[in-house]
Amino acid sequence: MCELIHKLKLVATDLDGTFLRNDKSISKENLDTLHSLGEKGILRVIATGRNLKKTMEVISADIPFDYIVFSSGAGVYDLKHGKLLYQQNINQDMVQQIADFLVKLDLNFHLFKPVPENYQCWFHRGSLPCTEFENYFDFHQSQSEPMPVDIPLDSEACQFLVVFPNNPDRFLALKKEIGHLFPEVKVVRTSSPLETGYIWMEIFHQLVSKGNGVKFICDSLQIEHAYTLGIGNDYNDLDLLEFTNYSYLVANGPPEMKERFLPTTTNEENAFARAVEKHIRY
Protein backbone atom coordinates (compact mmCIF):
# COMPACT_ATOMS: atom_id res chain seq x y z
CA MET A 1 0.00 0.00 0.00
CA CYS A 2 1.11 3.57 -0.59
CA GLU A 3 -0.07 6.86 0.88
CA LEU A 4 -0.05 10.24 -0.87
CA ILE A 5 2.06 12.84 0.92
CA HIS A 6 1.42 15.56 -1.63
CA LYS A 7 -1.77 15.30 -3.64
CA LEU A 8 -0.88 14.33 -7.21
CA LYS A 9 -3.09 13.74 -10.22
CA LEU A 10 -0.49 13.57 -13.02
CA VAL A 11 3.17 12.58 -13.31
CA ALA A 12 5.03 13.32 -16.56
CA THR A 13 8.49 11.97 -17.34
CA ASP A 14 11.00 12.27 -20.13
CA LEU A 15 12.25 8.94 -21.50
CA ASP A 16 15.88 8.92 -22.68
CA GLY A 17 18.30 9.80 -19.92
CA THR A 18 15.45 10.02 -17.39
CA PHE A 19 13.00 7.12 -17.17
CA LEU A 20 15.02 4.72 -19.33
CA ARG A 21 18.42 3.40 -18.37
CA ASN A 22 21.30 4.01 -20.76
CA ASP A 23 20.67 0.68 -22.49
CA LYS A 24 17.01 1.78 -23.04
CA SER A 25 15.70 -0.78 -20.56
CA ILE A 26 13.25 -0.05 -17.73
CA SER A 27 14.24 -0.87 -14.17
CA LYS A 28 11.94 -2.97 -11.98
CA GLU A 29 11.80 -0.11 -9.48
CA ASN A 30 10.60 2.40 -12.07
CA LEU A 31 8.05 -0.11 -13.38
CA ASP A 32 6.78 -0.82 -9.86
CA THR A 33 6.41 2.93 -9.29
CA LEU A 34 4.32 3.24 -12.47
CA HIS A 35 1.99 0.53 -11.19
CA SER A 36 1.73 2.22 -7.79
CA LEU A 37 0.75 5.50 -9.43
CA GLY A 38 -1.94 3.74 -11.44
CA GLU A 39 -3.33 2.09 -8.31
CA LYS A 40 -3.77 5.58 -6.82
CA GLY A 41 -5.51 6.88 -9.95
CA ILE A 42 -2.61 9.18 -10.88
CA LEU A 43 -2.14 9.69 -14.62
CA ARG A 44 1.21 8.59 -16.04
CA VAL A 45 2.50 10.60 -19.00
CA ILE A 46 5.52 10.18 -21.25
CA ALA A 47 6.91 13.52 -22.48
CA THR A 48 9.59 12.76 -25.05
CA GLY A 49 11.44 14.14 -28.03
CA ARG A 50 10.97 10.79 -29.76
CA ASN A 51 8.31 10.49 -32.43
CA LEU A 52 5.39 8.18 -31.71
CA LYS A 53 6.86 5.23 -33.60
CA LYS A 54 10.22 5.49 -31.84
CA THR A 55 8.46 5.82 -28.49
CA MET A 56 6.50 2.64 -29.05
CA GLU A 57 9.74 0.80 -29.82
CA VAL A 58 10.83 1.17 -26.16
CA ILE A 59 7.42 1.25 -24.45
CA SER A 60 5.68 -2.08 -24.91
CA ALA A 61 1.96 -2.65 -24.38
CA ASP A 62 2.49 -3.93 -20.83
CA ILE A 63 4.16 -0.72 -19.63
CA PRO A 64 1.29 1.15 -17.92
CA PHE A 65 1.51 4.71 -19.22
CA ASP A 66 -1.72 6.57 -20.02
CA TYR A 67 -0.63 9.30 -22.47
CA ILE A 68 2.34 10.09 -24.70
CA VAL A 69 3.40 13.66 -25.42
CA PHE A 70 5.71 12.94 -28.36
CA SER A 71 8.03 14.88 -30.66
CA SER A 72 8.57 17.43 -27.87
CA GLY A 73 4.86 18.23 -27.78
CA ALA A 74 4.00 18.26 -31.49
CA GLY A 75 1.58 15.42 -30.79
CA VAL A 76 -0.41 13.95 -27.90
CA TYR A 77 -1.53 10.32 -27.98
CA ASP A 78 -4.03 8.48 -25.77
CA LEU A 79 -2.21 5.22 -25.21
CA LYS A 80 -5.13 3.34 -23.66
CA HIS A 81 -7.54 4.10 -26.50
CA GLY A 82 -4.99 4.24 -29.33
CA LYS A 83 -6.09 7.72 -30.37
CA LEU A 84 -4.20 10.80 -31.57
CA LEU A 85 -5.61 13.72 -29.59
CA TYR A 86 -3.52 16.67 -30.70
CA GLN A 87 -1.04 17.67 -33.39
CA GLN A 88 0.77 20.90 -34.25
CA ASN A 89 2.83 21.23 -37.43
CA ILE A 90 4.64 24.12 -39.16
CA ASN A 91 2.59 25.40 -42.10
CA GLN A 92 3.71 24.81 -45.67
CA ASP A 93 4.78 28.39 -46.48
CA MET A 94 6.87 28.67 -43.32
CA VAL A 95 8.47 25.28 -43.96
CA GLN A 96 9.64 26.48 -47.37
CA GLN A 97 11.01 29.76 -46.04
CA ILE A 98 12.99 28.12 -43.24
CA ALA A 99 14.29 25.38 -45.54
CA ASP A 100 15.53 27.99 -48.01
CA PHE A 101 17.21 29.89 -45.15
CA LEU A 102 19.04 26.80 -43.85
CA VAL A 103 20.11 25.74 -47.35
CA LYS A 104 21.52 29.23 -47.94
CA LEU A 105 23.57 28.86 -44.74
CA ASP A 106 24.86 25.53 -46.08
CA LEU A 107 23.80 23.62 -42.95
CA ASN A 108 23.21 19.90 -42.50
CA PHE A 109 19.63 19.24 -41.47
CA HIS A 110 16.66 16.90 -41.49
CA LEU A 111 13.07 18.02 -42.06
CA PHE A 112 10.44 15.74 -40.55
CA LYS A 113 7.10 15.17 -42.20
CA PRO A 114 3.90 16.22 -40.42
CA VAL A 115 2.56 14.41 -37.37
CA PRO A 116 1.79 11.52 -37.21
CA GLU A 117 4.03 10.52 -40.15
CA ASN A 118 7.01 12.39 -38.69
CA TYR A 119 9.08 9.24 -38.37
CA GLN A 120 9.78 9.96 -42.06
CA CYS A 121 11.91 12.88 -43.18
CA TRP A 122 13.70 14.77 -45.91
CA PHE A 123 17.39 15.60 -45.56
CA HIS A 124 19.78 18.25 -46.84
CA ARG A 125 23.51 17.62 -46.74
CA GLY A 126 25.67 20.77 -46.56
CA SER A 127 29.07 21.06 -48.18
CA LEU A 128 30.99 20.72 -44.89
CA PRO A 129 31.32 17.13 -43.64
CA CYS A 130 29.53 16.42 -40.34
CA THR A 131 30.05 13.05 -38.69
CA GLU A 132 27.05 13.49 -36.41
CA PHE A 133 24.76 14.22 -39.35
CA GLU A 134 26.01 11.12 -41.18
CA ASN A 135 25.53 8.93 -38.11
CA TYR A 136 21.97 10.15 -37.73
CA PHE A 137 21.36 9.75 -41.46
CA ASP A 138 22.58 6.14 -41.34
CA PHE A 139 20.19 5.50 -38.46
CA HIS A 140 17.18 6.93 -40.37
CA GLN A 141 18.25 6.14 -43.92
CA SER A 142 15.32 3.81 -44.59
CA GLN A 143 12.89 6.62 -43.70
CA SER A 144 14.77 9.50 -45.38
CA GLU A 145 14.65 11.04 -48.83
CA PRO A 146 16.54 14.00 -50.33
CA MET A 147 14.85 17.35 -49.95
CA PRO A 148 13.53 18.52 -53.34
CA VAL A 149 15.88 20.87 -55.19
CA ASP A 150 14.34 23.82 -57.07
CA ILE A 151 10.89 22.32 -56.42
CA PRO A 152 8.63 23.86 -53.75
CA LEU A 153 7.81 21.67 -50.77
CA ASP A 154 4.10 20.89 -50.85
CA SER A 155 3.67 19.81 -47.26
CA GLU A 156 3.49 20.93 -43.67
CA ALA A 157 6.25 19.60 -41.43
CA CYS A 158 6.65 18.69 -37.78
CA GLN A 159 10.17 20.01 -37.22
CA PHE A 160 13.64 20.77 -38.49
CA LEU A 161 16.70 19.15 -36.92
CA VAL A 162 19.96 21.03 -37.56
CA VAL A 163 23.20 19.37 -36.49
CA PHE A 164 26.50 21.19 -35.96
CA PRO A 165 29.59 20.92 -33.72
CA ASN A 166 29.37 21.99 -30.08
CA ASN A 167 29.51 25.77 -30.27
CA PRO A 168 27.02 27.39 -27.86
CA ASP A 169 27.74 30.91 -29.14
CA ARG A 170 26.94 29.88 -32.70
CA PHE A 171 23.77 28.17 -31.52
CA LEU A 172 22.59 31.28 -29.66
CA ALA A 173 23.39 33.56 -32.61
CA LEU A 174 21.50 31.34 -35.04
CA LYS A 175 18.60 30.97 -32.60
CA LYS A 176 18.35 34.76 -32.33
CA GLU A 177 18.40 35.18 -36.11
CA ILE A 178 15.73 32.53 -36.65
CA GLY A 179 13.58 34.09 -33.94
CA HIS A 180 13.85 37.47 -35.63
CA LEU A 181 13.13 36.21 -39.15
CA PHE A 182 10.53 33.59 -38.27
CA PRO A 183 8.61 34.55 -35.09
CA GLU A 184 6.05 31.82 -35.82
CA VAL A 185 8.52 29.12 -34.75
CA LYS A 186 10.62 28.30 -31.71
CA VAL A 187 14.17 26.96 -31.43
CA VAL A 188 15.12 24.32 -28.85
CA ARG A 189 18.59 23.09 -27.97
CA THR A 190 19.05 19.37 -27.36
CA SER A 191 22.16 17.46 -26.35
CA SER A 192 23.09 14.75 -28.81
CA PRO A 193 21.70 11.39 -27.63
CA LEU A 194 24.68 9.85 -29.40
CA GLU A 195 26.85 11.52 -26.71
CA THR A 196 29.28 12.97 -29.21
CA GLY A 197 29.29 16.58 -28.03
CA TYR A 198 27.36 17.95 -31.01
CA ILE A 199 24.49 20.39 -30.57
CA TRP A 200 21.14 19.53 -32.05
CA MET A 201 18.95 22.49 -32.93
CA GLU A 202 15.25 21.64 -33.21
CA ILE A 203 12.82 24.06 -34.85
CA PHE A 204 9.10 23.66 -34.12
CA HIS A 205 5.89 25.63 -34.37
CA GLN A 206 5.96 28.19 -31.56
CA LEU A 207 3.17 26.40 -29.67
CA VAL A 208 5.06 23.11 -29.50
CA SER A 209 6.61 22.15 -26.17
CA LYS A 210 6.45 19.26 -23.76
CA GLY A 211 4.93 21.66 -21.25
CA ASN A 212 2.13 22.63 -23.63
CA GLY A 213 1.52 18.96 -24.43
CA VAL A 214 1.08 18.14 -20.74
CA LYS A 215 -1.03 21.29 -20.30
CA PHE A 216 -3.31 20.06 -23.09
CA ILE A 217 -3.92 16.87 -21.12
CA CYS A 218 -4.47 18.81 -17.89
CA ASP A 219 -6.92 21.19 -19.55
CA SER A 220 -8.81 18.34 -21.23
CA LEU A 221 -9.19 16.45 -17.95
CA GLN A 222 -9.51 19.52 -15.69
CA ILE A 223 -6.36 18.75 -13.73
CA GLU A 224 -4.99 21.72 -11.81
CA HIS A 225 -1.33 22.66 -12.21
CA ALA A 226 -0.78 22.28 -8.45
CA TYR A 227 -1.29 18.51 -8.74
CA THR A 228 1.38 17.84 -11.38
CA LEU A 229 4.92 16.44 -11.17
CA GLY A 230 7.54 16.39 -13.94
CA ILE A 231 10.95 14.76 -14.37
CA GLY A 232 13.50 15.59 -17.09
CA ASN A 233 17.17 15.59 -17.96
CA ASP A 234 17.92 18.12 -20.71
CA TYR A 235 17.28 21.54 -22.28
CA ASN A 236 14.27 20.28 -24.22
CA ASP A 237 12.61 19.47 -20.88
CA LEU A 238 12.67 23.09 -19.72
CA ASP A 239 9.09 23.82 -20.78
CA LEU A 240 7.89 20.66 -19.06
CA LEU A 241 9.70 21.43 -15.81
CA GLU A 242 8.56 25.05 -15.89
CA PHE A 243 4.94 23.87 -16.23
CA THR A 244 4.72 21.14 -13.58
CA ASN A 245 4.42 22.11 -9.93
CA TYR A 246 6.94 19.61 -8.56
CA SER A 247 9.78 19.53 -11.09
CA TYR A 248 12.83 17.28 -10.88
CA LEU A 249 16.07 17.27 -12.84
CA VAL A 250 18.10 14.05 -12.86
CA ALA A 251 21.67 14.14 -11.60
CA ASN A 252 22.96 13.48 -15.13
CA GLY A 253 21.32 16.69 -16.40
CA PRO A 254 23.17 19.87 -17.48
CA PRO A 255 24.88 21.58 -14.51
CA GLU A 256 23.48 24.99 -15.46
CA MET A 257 19.91 23.68 -15.01
CA LYS A 258 20.38 22.12 -11.57
CA GLU A 259 19.78 25.23 -9.48
CA ARG A 260 16.35 25.74 -11.05
CA PHE A 261 14.72 22.41 -10.21
CA LEU A 262 14.45 19.78 -7.49
CA PRO A 263 17.23 17.15 -7.51
CA THR A 264 16.90 13.43 -8.01
CA THR A 265 19.37 10.63 -8.83
CA THR A 266 20.67 9.63 -12.27
CA ASN A 267 18.66 7.62 -14.77
CA GLU A 268 20.88 4.64 -13.93
CA GLU A 269 19.83 4.96 -10.29
CA ASN A 270 16.03 4.91 -10.71
CA ALA A 271 15.62 8.68 -10.93
CA PHE A 272 11.90 8.35 -11.72
CA ALA A 273 11.17 6.19 -8.68
CA ARG A 274 13.36 8.34 -6.41
CA ALA A 275 11.50 11.51 -7.39
CA VAL A 276 8.02 10.02 -7.08
CA GLU A 277 8.70 8.35 -3.73
CA LYS A 278 9.17 11.80 -2.19
CA HIS A 279 5.44 12.29 -2.77
CA ILE A 280 4.18 8.77 -2.02
CA ARG A 281 4.79 6.85 1.21
CA TYR A 282 4.79 3.07 0.93
Delimit the domains of the chain by residue range: 3-88+209-281, 92-205
Give the model's pLDDT for residue 142: 59
- Dist CA 109 CA 102 (whole Å): 8
Give the model's pLDDT for residue 270: 98
- pLDDT, mean of residues 265-279: 97
pLDDT tens, position by position, 62-90:
899 999 999 999 999 999 999 999 999 99
Residue 196 has pLDDT above 60, yes or no: yes
Give the model's pLDDT for residue 144: 84
- Dist CA 251 CA 220 (whole Å): 32
The answer to whether the predicted template modeling score (pTM) of the entire model surpasses 0.95 is: no
Residue 1 has pLDDT above 50, yes or no: no
Residue 282 has pLDDT above 70, yes or no: no
Residue 220 has pLDDT above 60, yes or no: yes
> How many residues belong to the chain?
282
pLDDT band for position 36 (50/70/90)?
very high
CATH topology of domain 3-88+209-281: Rossmann fold (3.40.50)
Tell me the CATH number for domain 92-205.
3.30.1240.10
Residue 277's identity, in one-letter code, is E
Residue 118 has pLDDT above 70, yes or no: yes
Least confident stretch, 10-14, 166-170, 229-233: 166-170
- pLDDT, mean of residues 9-16: 97
What burial class does residue 139 get, using C-beta atoms within 10 Å of its C-beta: 0-12 exposed, 13-18 middle, 19+ buried? exposed
Give the model's pLDDT for residue 256: 92
Pairing of strands 228-232, 67-70: unpaired
Bridge partners of 76?
A: 69, 86
